[in-house]
């Protein structure tokens, strides 16, 4: 009896202890669960993902009449994920290239402030120009201007180097959701984080094959694992995964969990960058937004989740197709597809977009841009906030500038073998910047020959001697009182500078003892330029040049007139914009706007202008620089196929260390510099080294060059003058006549010699105009 | 030749000269043959030549109209973007400058409003209808700038 009582008591004690233990366990578990929930809440309430900021080019505008470089346009369309097809485009992202045009089903244009649904359009070409833009479904309707979406240029990554594009659950088409559920967790909407049936099935399958063939993890477990756990495979970690899954299910709705999962998971690799989330994956594999995926594409994407690298359509298309078909069949088994749709899905060809790399494009420009962005945002914000950074860069111009610079430098080395250097660090260098002079937009920036060997940006960071490109500021300063026909001396003259004698020399012997201002600038005559500088005063020249915003100190020595000053090439390009833009200087723009991840504008950099000189003076300089291209140091341009109006100036510095060409049209300005970083001599001029590169760029970008003439402002007038060899004749021997431009308040009285030389016809014209200068 | 015929010729010549007044034709001369080596092939199948400025202006007008619609909705920054696009197509497109001046005026940046207004005045000089608007714009900018003075 006592024994039985003792047993009962022992049992009671045991039960009590067990109950206590269970209660204690429950309390501990509750507390642990609460702690996990706090952890989950904290993680999910804050920023869930680090989204790299994306840098975009400018949009491309197409309109009737636009000249196009078709191969370059096709390359651009390829970069924009348009896939060539041999039938009329039926889906967004398809294009058919025809003899006389292209048919494109445009992607949605989803840049901030501009939203346009994609639609099919026909671009018709004639004689190298866009002849018409019409919607495919209503050919009678003409489109005046068509915007092509910007290209992605770069991403600012964090250390994890993940690409991700967030999508909301309501953006996802049902067939994509069903495909993912069929592939990963078909009972997702009916379990509470753990799928016991799934676990049992996986256990039996794995036991039967004596290997891990099937996982029993639910979508919620996978989400818990990705967000909170390390990849180690231990019992403790598995237990924590289960608890976390239960906690997540308790605190969040199924749709919220699915949305987080689809934005989170790893979907493959693009070079060193991982592709995460369904938004990025849809773009990476099919060049589409998730909502535009077909059934087959959605199933293929869902099939990839299991092992993105094994089932990658790029690595093994057959395996990818088999996996896709498994997913489609699983969808049918779950009654998410009827038999007919399943058949269609199985028959759908697997057509991923052409594989794209994540190249480091436009690296010098991106570095220049990053310098500006770093003043606005901390690097960790750039790497995580998912900003959309819109720039002014035109990839077609950038491509042309990069190609022209590289081929130009190689050509120089082949024509002048002494320019070759053995090591990349010492080889011949060059740099290009292309700008819109009217707006200041930087369309292209190439800071060096090869970014892999040198990241030094010779456009924005190098200070090089400006040489003859700086002469324009002397001539501009002179236009306050003088005109392009003012007489300058070419005589050898010695000047006393700082107690020393200095005698400027011309690059090549020039016989003419005197010449006009126009000729002196066009032929870049040093002696005449210094003569002019002495007449107007160095202080005035210095003040004029300073007005253009050069940050380099400008010492008022006579050699300044010849360009003995180091300048940043970008500042020089910006200064020349003034002449193309009627005296207004634009602020150089690389960054246009920054939008946050929700598309809200947070930084806007509009074009800004500053009056630097009068439109009349800017035009006179342009006109003289046109002479430089037609008859002066830049006349080789015609030989390089440039036959539209261009104003430009060559530059060659002491010992041929720097070779420059700055040329512009009313639409576009490009500066080219060639030289050695160590200051070694080129022994060739700007016209030989830099000008051909300029010409090649222009010929490759017809869409940016209208060929329009420069137009005189209203306060500039023509007036007849004596000429010789195309320049104003200041020798007093009037053999030919031509016209010259003058500011309206500075038209000269006609020289008697001029009038004597005129035909009676010319004199009658003068009489008709009421002028009284009869010889 | 009779004096009347001479006068007729003279008038015709004068008319021709006046008609050509705005086109730039600096003194010309013979261009020496400085062709580059033949080894360098043209990079593309097209070369820029004389564009019909009218088509560029039509595209610029379409963009400006869209910009005006945005500006009427109070969306100044997006509107400015479209006006700038118009100017990037047609750098002498006066209405683009005019509306950018309006946009800067709306942003109370009077120095920029004046800068763009000056360009508008320059490029719209030949258009009497626009000239009246430009004059009125000038007055509005001056008044707003004066009112903003402390």
Closest CA to A50 of A154, A177, A156, A203: A156
Query: Of A615, A635, A641, which is closest to B32 when you measure between CB atoms?
Result: A635
pLDDT digits (tens, 9 = 90+) for A494-503: 988 888 888 9
Comparing A293 with B11, which gets the higher pLDDT? A293
pLDDT of residue A428: 96
Q: In the block, which residue shows the tokens 């999508």?
A: A167
Cβ A723 vs Cβ A700: under 8 Å? no
- Enumerate the residues of chain B whose CB falls inside 8 A of the CB of residue A663: none
Contact A411 B52 (CB under 8 A): no
Q: What is the DSSP string of A405-458?
A: HHHHHHHHHHH-GGG--SSGGGS-EEEEEEE-TTT-BEEEEE-SS-TTT----T
pLDDT of residue A288: 87
Contact B58 A624 (CB under 8 A): no
- Enumerate the residues of chain B whose CB falls inside 8 A of the CB of residue A738: 27-28
A375/A85 Cα distance (integer angstroms): 45
- Enumerate the residues of chain B whose CB falls inside 8 A of the CB of residue A714: 122, 125
**Interface with chain A: mutation pick from B26, B51, B79, B96, highest number of A CBs within 10 Å:** B26
- Enumerate the residues of chain B whose CB falls inside 8 A of the CB of residue A631: 27-29, 31
Which residue of the set A438, A468, A516, A623 is catalytic?
A468
A723/A732 Cα distance (integer angstroms): 10
Contact A593 B59 (CB under 8 A): no
Q: Is A2 exposed, middle or buried (0-12, 13-18, 19+ CB in 10 A)?
A: exposed
Query: Of B6, B31, B52, which is closest to A630 when you measure between CB atoms?
Result: B31
pLDDT of residue A763: 57
Query: Of B33, B91, B115, which is closest to A438 when you measure between CB atoms?
Result: B91
- Enumerate the residues of chain B whose CB falls inside 8 A of the CB of residue A739: 25, 27
Minimal Cα–Cα distance from A680 to chain B, Å? 25
B114/B104 Cα distance (integer angstroms): 9
**Interface with chain A: mutation pick from B43, B86, B100, B119, highest number of A CBs within 10 Å:** B43
Closest CA to A716 of A742, A745, A746: A742
pLDDT digits (tens, 9 = 90+) for A213-272: 666 789 999 998 888 887 676 777 778 888 889 989 988 999 999 999 999 899 998 877
- The full set of domain ranges for chain B reads 53-148
Query: Of B29, B33, B91, which is closest to A631 when you measure between CB atoms?
Result: B29
Residues 6+ apart with CB under 8 A from A501: A494, A495
- Enumerate the residues of chain B whose CB falls inside 8 A of the CB of residue A68: 46
- What letter would DSSP give residue A565? S
- pLDDT bin (cut points 50, 70, 90) of residue B21 is very low
- Enumerate the residues of chain B whose CB falls inside 8 A of the CB of residue A702: 44, 46-48
B118/B100 Cα distance (integer angstroms): 11
Contact A636 B36 (CB under 8 A): yes
Which residue of the set A94, A103, A151, A184 is catalytic?
A184
pLDDT of residue A161: 77
Helix, strand, or coil here: A756? helix
Closest CA to A252 of A35, A46, A37: A37
Instruction: Provide the CA A73 distance to its chain's centre, in angstroms.
Output: 15
Q: Where are the beta strands (DSSP E) in A479-616?
A: 487-489, 495-497, 500-502, 514-516, 566-567, 584-586, 591-595, 601-604, 609-611
Contact B36 A639 (CB under 8 A): yes
- What letter would DSSP give residue A666? S
CATH classification (class only), B53-148 = mainly alpha
A280/B105 Cα distance (integer angstroms): 41
Contact A708 B53 (CB under 8 A): yes
Query: Of B51, B62, B77, which is closest to A144 when you measure between CB atoms?
Result: B62
List helix spans (H) across A555-635. 569-580, 615-630
A152/A133 Cα distance (integer angstroms): 25
Minimal Cα–Cα distance from A144 to chain B, Å? 6
pLDDT digits (tens, 9 = 90+) for A322-348: 999 999 999 999 999 999 999 999 999
Contact A67 B51 (CB under 8 A): yes
- pLDDT bin (cut points 50, 70, 90) of residue B16 is very low
Q: Using DSSP bridges, classify how beta strands A487-489 and A500-502 pair: parallel, antiparallel or unpaired.
A: unpaired
Contact B29 A641 (CB under 8 A): no
pLDDT digits (tens, 9 = 90+) for A624-675: 999 999 999 999 999 999 999 999 999 999 888 999 999 999 999 999 999 9
- Enumerate the residues of chain B whose CB falls inside 8 A of the CB of residue A611: 115, 118
Comparing A627 with B5, which gets the higher pLDDT? A627
pLDDT of residue A753: 58
Is A184 annotated in the active site?
A: yes
Minimal Cα–Cα distance from A303 to chain B, Å? 42
Contact B122 A667 (CB under 8 A): no
The low-confidence residues of chain A, meaning pLDDT below 50, are: 770-775
pLDDT of residue B36: 37
Contact A638 B48 (CB under 8 A): no
B22/A224 Cα distance (integer angstroms): 73
Minimal Cα–Cα distance from A405 to chain B, Å? 13
Closest CA to A726 of A425, A522, A455: A522
């Amino acid at each position: 009896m006592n024994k039985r009582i003792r047993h009962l008591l022992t049992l009671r004690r045991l039960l009590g202890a067990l109950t206590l233990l269970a209660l204690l366990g429950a309390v501990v578990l509750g507390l642990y669960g609460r702690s996990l929930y706090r952890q989950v809440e904290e993680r999910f309430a804050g920023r869930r993902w680090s989204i790299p900021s994306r840098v975009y080019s400018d949009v491309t505008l197409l309109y009737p009449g636009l000249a196009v470089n078709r191969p370059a346009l096709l390359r651009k369309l390829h970069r924009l994920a348009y896939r060539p097809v041999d039938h009329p485009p039926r889906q967004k992202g398809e294009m058919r290239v025809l003899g006389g045009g292209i048919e494109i089903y445009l992607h949605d244009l989803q840049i901030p402030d501009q939203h346009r649904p994609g639609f099919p359009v026909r671009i018709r070409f004639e004689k190298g120009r866009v002849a018409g833009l019409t919607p495919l479904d209503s050919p009678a309707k003409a489109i005046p201007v068509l915007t092509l979406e910007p290209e992605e240029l770069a991403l600012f990554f964090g250390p994890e180097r993940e690409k991700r594009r967030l999508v909301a659950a309501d953006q996802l088409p049902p067939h994509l959701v069903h495909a993912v559920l069929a592939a990963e967790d078909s009972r997702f909407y009916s379990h509470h984080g753990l799928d016991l049936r799934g676990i049992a099935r996986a256990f039996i399958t794995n036991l039967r094959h004596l290997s891990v063939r099937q996982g029993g993890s639910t979508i919620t477990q996978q989400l818990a694992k990705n967000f909170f756990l390390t990849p180690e495979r231990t019992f403790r970690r598995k237990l924590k995964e289960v608890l976390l899954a239960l906690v997540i299910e308790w605190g969040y709705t199924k749709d919220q969990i699915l949305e987080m999962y689809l934005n989170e998971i790893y979907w493959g690799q693009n070079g060193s960058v991982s592709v995460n989330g369904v938004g990025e994956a849809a773009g990476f594999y099919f060049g589409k937004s998730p909502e535009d995926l077909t059934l087959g594409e959605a199933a293929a994407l869902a099939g990839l989740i299991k092992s993105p690298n094994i089932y990658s359509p790029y690595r093994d298309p057959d395996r990818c197709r088999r996996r896709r078909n498994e997913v489609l069949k699983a969808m049918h088994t779950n009654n998410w597809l009827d038999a007919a749709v399943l058949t269609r899905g199985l028959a759908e060809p697997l057509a991923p977009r052409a594989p794209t790399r994540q190249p480091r494009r436009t690296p010098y420009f991106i570095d220049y841009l990053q310098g500006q962005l770093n003043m606005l945002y901390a690097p960790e914000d750039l790497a995580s906030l998912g900003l959309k950074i819109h720039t002014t860069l035109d990839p077609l111009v950038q491509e042309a500038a990069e190609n022209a610079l590289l081929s130009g430098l190689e050509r120089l080395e082949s024509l002048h073998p002494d320019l070759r250097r053995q090591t990349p660090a010492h080889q011949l260098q060059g740099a290009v910047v292309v700008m819109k002079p009217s707006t200041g937009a930087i369309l292209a920036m190439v800071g060096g020959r090869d970014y892999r060997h040198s990241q030094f940006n010779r456009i924005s960071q190098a200070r090089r001697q400006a040489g003859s490109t700086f002469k324009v500021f002397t001539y501009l300063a002179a236009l306050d009182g003088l005109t392009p026909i003012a007489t300058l001396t070419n005589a050898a003259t010695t000047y006393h500078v700082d107690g020393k004698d200095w005698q400027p020399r011309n690059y090549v012997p020039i016989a003419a003892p005197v010449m006009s201002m126009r000729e002196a600038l066009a032929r870049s005559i040093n002696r005449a330029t210094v003569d002019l500088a002495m007449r107007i005063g160095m202080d005035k020249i210095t003040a004029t040049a300073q007005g253009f915003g050069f940050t380099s100190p400008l010492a008022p020595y006579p050699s300044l007139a010849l360009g003995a000053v180091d300048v940043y090439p970008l500042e020089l390009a910006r200064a020349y914009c003034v002449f193309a833009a009627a005296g207004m200087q634009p602020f150089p723009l690389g960054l246009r706007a920054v939008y946050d991840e929700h598309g809200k504008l947070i930084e806007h950099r509009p074009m800004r202008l500053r009056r630097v000189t009068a439109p009349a003076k800017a035009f006179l300089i342009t006109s003289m620089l046109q002479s430089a291209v037609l008859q002066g140091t830049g006349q080789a341009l015609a030989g390089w196929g440039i036959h539209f109006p261009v104003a430009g100036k060559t530059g060659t510095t002491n010992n041929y260390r720097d070779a420059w060409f700055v040329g512009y049209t009313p639409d576009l300005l490009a500066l080219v510099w060639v030289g050695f970083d160590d200051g070694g001599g080129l022994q060739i001029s700007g016209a030989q080294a830099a000008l051909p590169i300029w010409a090649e760029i222009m010929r490759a970008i017809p869409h940016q060059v209208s060929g329009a003439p420069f137009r005189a402002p209203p306060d500039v007038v023509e007036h007849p003058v004596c000429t010789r060899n195309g320049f104003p004749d200041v020798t007093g021997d009037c053999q030919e006549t031509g016209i010259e431009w003058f500011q309206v308040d500075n038209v000269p009285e006609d020289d008697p010699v001029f009038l004597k030389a005129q035909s009676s016809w010319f004199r009658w014209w003068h009489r008709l105009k009421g002028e009284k200068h009869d010889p | 030749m009779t004096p009347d015929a001479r006068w007729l010729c003279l008038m015709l010549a004068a008319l021709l000269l006046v008609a050509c007044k705005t086109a730039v034709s600096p003194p010309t001369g013979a261009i020496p043959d400085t062709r580059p080596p033949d080894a360098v092939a043209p990079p593309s199948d097209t070369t820029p030549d004389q564009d019909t400025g009218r088509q560029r202006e039509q595209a610029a007008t379409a963009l400006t109209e869209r910009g005006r619609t945005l500006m009427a909705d109070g969306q100044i920054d997006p509107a400015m973007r479209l006006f700038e696009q118009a100017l990037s197509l047609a750098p002498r497109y006066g209405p683009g400058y005019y509306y950018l001046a309006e946009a800067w005026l709306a942003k109370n940046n009077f120095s920029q409003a004046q800068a763009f207004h000056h360009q508008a005045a320059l490029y719209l000089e030949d258009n009497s209808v626009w000239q009246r608007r430009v004059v009125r714009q000038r007055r509005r900018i001056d008044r707003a700038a004066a009112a903003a003075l402390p």
